[in-house]
Amino acid sequence: MSSAGTEPKICKQCNQAIQGGVLTAMGASWHTDHFCCNECKTPITETKFRTNDNFPYCTPCYTKLFAPKCFACDEHIMDKCVQAMGANWHEDHFVCNDCKSKLIGTQFMDLGGVPHCQKCYVAKHADRCKGCSKPIADKAIVALDAKWHQMCFRCSRCSKPIMKDQSFQVDAGKPHCVKC
Ligand SMILES: [Zn+2]
Ligand SMILES: [Zn+2]
Ligand SMILES: [Zn+2]
Ligand SMILES: [Zn+2]
Ligand SMILES: [Zn+2]
Ligand SMILES: [Zn+2]
C-alpha cells in the first residue's frame, strides 16, 4: 500500500491508518480532522487546549470533566488551585473569613472548616486575658480559673508580675505575692 515502504501512521483518535495529511500533536499522529476534543468530538482549534491522559480536550469539556471546584464559590478552578484544609480553592478565594485577606503563604487557622488569618483569629477567637481583657496571642498563664498574659498576672498589691513557678496567694479573687 505504501510505496515508500514506511508504515502508515495510525491516528490516535480512530486507530486507523492515516492516508494523506497527518497532524502531529502531543507526541502522536492524528487525521487532520480527528484532532478533536476527546469528549465532545469538536475539532480543536484553540491554541491552548487542555490535555488529560494524553487526549486533548476543549476547555469547556476539560472544565466539566476534570477541573477541581472551589470550596468557597463552587466554581471550577482553571488557574492556580490552592489545596488547603482538605479542599480546593481559587487562589483569590482562599481568604480570611473575617477580613478577606489572602491566606496563601501565611499562617492561617482552621476554625471549624472556615479559614481565618492569624490576626482575626487572635482578635476574635483567642482566649482573653482576665487582667486586661485583650486576646492572648501566645502562651497564656492559667490561674484562678482564667487565662492571663504573662505580664498581666501581677500581684494586686505591689504590681510585680507573678512568674509561672512562683507561689502566690489569693485575696478576693486577686493574686498577690506571698510576701505582700
Ligand atoms: Zn482518525
Ligand atoms: Zn469538548
Ligand atoms: Zn472560588
Ligand atoms: Zn482576617
Ligand atoms: Zn492581659
Ligand atoms: Zn506583691
pLDDT digits (tens, 9 = 90+) for 58-89: 999 999 999 999 999 999 998 889 999 999 99
Question: Do residues 120 and 131 share a domain?
Answer: no
35 domain-assigned: no
Question: Which pLDDT band, with edges at 50, 70 and 90, does 159 fall under?
Answer: very high
Question: Do residues 174 and 150 share a domain?
Answer: yes
Average pLDDT, the chain: 89
**Tell me, what's the pLDDT at 45?**
77
71 domain-assigned: no
pLDDT digits (tens, 9 = 90+) for 88-105: 999 999 999 999 999 999
61 C-alpha to ligand 2 centroid (Å): 4
> Nearest 5°: phi and psi at 125?
-120, -10
Question: Do residues 105 and 131 share a domain?
Answer: no
Count of structural domains within the chain: 2
**Tell me, what's the pLDDT at 148?**
93
Question: Which pLDDT band, with edges at 50, 70 and 90, does 174 fall under?
Answer: confident
Question: Do residues 103 and 136 share a domain?
Answer: no
Question: Do residues 100 and 140 share a domain?
Answer: no
**Tell me, what's the pLDDT at 92?**
94
Question: Do residues 116 and 137 share a domain?
Answer: no
pLDDT digits (tens, 9 = 90+) for 20-63: 889 999 999 999 889 999 999 998 877 778 999 888 999 999 99
48 domain-assigned: no
Q: In this structure, which ligand is nearest to the CA of 78?
A: 3
113 domain-assigned: yes
102 C-alpha to ligand 6 centroid (Å): 46
Residue 178 is part of which domain span?
127-180
Question: Do residues 115 and 92 share a domain?
Answer: yes
Question: Do residues 112 and 156 share a domain?
Answer: no
* CA pseudo-torsion sign 98, 99, 104, 108: negative
Cell of 65: 470533566
Burial of 23 (0-12, 13-18, 19+ CB in 10 A): middle
166 C-alpha to ligand 6 centroid (Å): 11
Residue 162 has pLDDT above 60, yes or no: yes
Residues at Cβ < 5 Å from ligand 6 ion: 155, 157-158, 177, 180
40 domain-assigned: no
**Cα(4)–Cα(34) distance, integer angstroms:** 24
Q: In this structure, which ligand is nearest to the CA of 35?
A: 1
Look at 1-5, 80-84, 89-93, 149-153 and tell me which has the smallest mean pLDDT. 1-5
Question: Do residues 164 and 152 share a domain?
Answer: yes
50 domain-assigned: no
The CATH number assigned to the domain holding 98 equals 2.10.110.10
Question: Do residues 131 and 167 share a domain?
Answer: yes
100 Cβ neighbours under 8 A, 6+ residues apart: none
Question: Which pLDDT band, with edges at 50, 70 and 90, does 4 fall under?
Answer: low
96 C-alpha to ligand 4 centroid (Å): 5
153 domain-assigned: yes
Question: Which pLDDT band, with edges at 50, 70 and 90, does 2 fall under?
Answer: very low
**Contact between residue 74 and residue 93 where contact means Cβ atoms under 8 Å apart:** no
47 domain-assigned: no
